[in-house]
Amino acid sequence: MSGELLYLNGTYMPLADGRVPIEDRGFQLGDGVYEVVKVENGRALWLDEHLRRLERSLAAIKLAGASIGHRLGEVIPELVLRSGVQQGAVYVQVTRGVCPREFELPADPVPTVLAYTRNVSGPSAEAIQAGEALHPVADPRWAHCDIKAIDLLAAVLAKEEARAAGAQEVAFVGPDGMVREGGSSNVFSVIDGVLRTHPANERILDGITRGQVLLLAREAGCQVEERAFTLAEITSAGDSKCEVFIASTLKGIMPVVRVGTHVVGDGHPGPVTLALLDLFRRKVALLGGLEMPPASS
């Protein structure tokens, strides 16, 4: 399929031709980490930030430096160029490699390093204006969500529960009622004019888009607090006092108009959300070498 090209352990090939041995620890034990990089106008955005986070994740699982010999900072732009992808994503994964299935870490692992491209369209203007719904779920995950690990079964099951409830995304909630993050996104609120999101600790993944949102908000003069908020705070705020949105690599900023059965605000994207969305779209356009898009309405 056009746009789908794979880099696997030093070799470029069609994605459909890729093969990984049965005893790869990523396949059998979920022993690996990953990144997803947005491609806009044929350019991999915030690539350095993604690769730095990849190295942090590798270090956290005792696999530091596993990708260095592959020079992903050069491979990924080359992969995008060869694939012809203009708008899409690069998926990057590093596992501990192939060895007999044991829990003990191998002494001299030979990591499996891969990356592939895919055409992916961003959300339409109509989808943004319609907004999305979040489905609250008690967080069942391990206490190292700051590692971008390939074991995503908890998120898969939670997202399926959300889909069955008519929602597009999950809101993982801690025992204290604090909203942590989405299944594949960071969650933000605007309560009484203050932009808030969960602090970057072991309970959430410090999203690359999350960081850009906070930067843009501060540059725009918004009052910003990296402080968690409760589910009750966003479901009890008055119509004009609360906004909610999520942020992720592929969706960018997406307004949230419903959390569970509660309608957020007046049921439409709020003014702070739309202002930040406009700033974000303009930054993406600038990095992608595109003309500035029209202001969001």
Verify whether residue 38 is a known catalytic residue.
no
Task: Choose among 135, 137, 132, 146: nearest CA to 173.
Answer: 137
Spacing of C-alpha 38 from chain mean position = 10
Q: Which two tokens stand for residue 58?
A: 């590798």
DSSP code, position 124: P
β-pairing, 169-173 with 179-181? antiparallel
Dihedral (CA of 170, 176, 180, 184) sign: negative
DSSP alpha helices (H): ranges in 165-248? 208-219, 231-236
Task: Choose among 91, 92, 183, 202: nearest CA to 137.
Answer: 183
- Active-site entry in 38, 62, 148, 251: 148
Work out the widest C-alpha separation in the chain, in whole angstroms. 58
Task: Choose among 86, 82, 63, 62: nearest CA to 289.
Answer: 86
Helix axes 72-83, 47-60, angle to 10 degrees: 130
**Phi-psi label, residue 250: left if phi above 0, alpha if psi -120 to 50, beta otherwise:** alpha
DSSP per position, 223-235 = EEE----BHHHHH
Catalytic annotation, residues = 148
